[in-house]
Amino acid sequence: MKKNFTRIVLENGMRVILTPNKQSLATTVLVLVEAGSKYETKNISGLSHFLEHMCFKGTTKRPTAMDISGELDGMGAEYNAFTSHEWTGYYAKVQPHKAKQALDLIADMYLNPVFDEKEIEKEKGVIIEELNMYEDTPMRKVGDLFTQLLYGDQPAGWDIGGNKEIIRILNKENFVKYRNLHYVGQSTTVVVAGNFKEKEFLGLIKKNFKSLKKGEKGGKLKVVESQKNPEIKIQFKESDQSHLIVGVRAFDMYDKRKYALDVLSDILGGGMSSILFQKIRDKMGAAYYVRSSIDLFTDHGFLSVAAGVENSKLELVVSAILEEFIKLKSKLVSEKDLKRSKDHLTGRFLLGLEGSDSLANYYGGQEVSREKILTPEEIIAKIKKVKASEILEVAKFIFQNEKLNLSLIGPVKDGTSLKNILKI
């Protein structure tokens, strides 16, 4: 299969992924670093995300937030940053003739933030309001509740955004120390995707990132998993709808069974023709949204089914989800469902790679997580090879009472009745 990317490791340990496409109307510059909430300790919870914000607040070359945002807006760029449990990313997507400028700016933000103390104090208010916004968005917040239930008081169970008490006391020293520990060559990946000249940009990347130190990378604690029985976590909230997640512990992103798990999840709740969408929305009329997804990390993972449910039908919906879990571990999926899922997954996967930003995230995500980089064609081939028997084996492995969990946000004060039906 054609290898449509180039991977280079520089002297400082920084990795570079170049994936050129002369037909593209855009170029994306993405910098990823192995630094997320799982690299934090309790006294700096939320710092990874806060640091991401501060990189937009001024550098030695561009001293103010306006200098950065004004230049990016002047390029007509799409730009942002994001923090996850295991890495942080900074990117700009621009017209090809603006790509050199975008590279210079993203490199400057990544390498030279000033962490002005006045800006830190002001940004605390912004971070806290972001946390408030998520708290008022139960459709999203229920996911945080679910990871808290699974992993408890360890980094994998903490909110990526941190908590307000810690945010209020973070200072410049915290930012500098954390950045020196994690923002080093070995943990950094630079990706350029879209319309650009490969040789020219490799030279520019070397020039722009030559000051990035080699340094020793700070590590993270391994996730500890412990569960014996089905567990439930409820957050009471007066609302017209209950938001829930029913899910199970799975395995990490390096497990060869992940392609079978991906197909299983799609059969279960991937699209409007999936089993749960048809059952819960179309037949029961009990939810507007219902979907299944998998989240796999470097040392843990889970499958989850999320739904926004009419309050009076809460127990019926949970029971309906559990019934499908039991069916999947009891018998082979039909050839019809297997084909539909594979076609749906591969079609959506390819369409999702249409833009230069999507390609940058696709290749960069594999590199920053230390996976072997596979081309889209190789991923599709692995999905197409999945057999019904492999899905059955994965279902038997994950759909067990000692891996089963339910998180819920809604007008529920007593979860006893839900606890009683939570079994497979």
Please identify which of the residues 34, 40, 52, 324 carries the catalytic annotation. 52
Residue of 287, 292, 258 lying closest to 274 (CA atoms): 292
Query: What is the Cα–Cα distance from 103 to 90, expressed in whole angstroms?
Result: 11
Spatial CA neighbour of 68 closest among 102, 97, 116: 102
Q: How far is CA 295 from the centre of its chain?
A: 8
| Strand pairing report for 301-310 and 188-194 | unpaired
Q: What are the percentages of helix, strand and coil residues in the chain, rounded to 5?
A: 50, 20, 35
Told to judge if 165 belongs to the known catalytic residues of this protein, a careful annotator would answer no
Written as one string, the DSSP assignment of 37-99 is GGG--GGGTTHHHHHHHHTTS-BSSS-SHHHHHHHHHHTT-EEEEEE-SS-EEEEEEE-GGGH
H helices of 302-407, where?
A: 314-328, 335-351, 356-368, 376-384, 388-398
Angle at 20 between CA 19 and CA 23, to 5 degrees: 135
Both structure tokens of 185 = 């060559």
Distances in whole angstroms, Cα of residue 306 to Cα of each of 246, 292, 317, 322, 407 = 7, 6, 11, 13, 9
Catalytic positions: 52
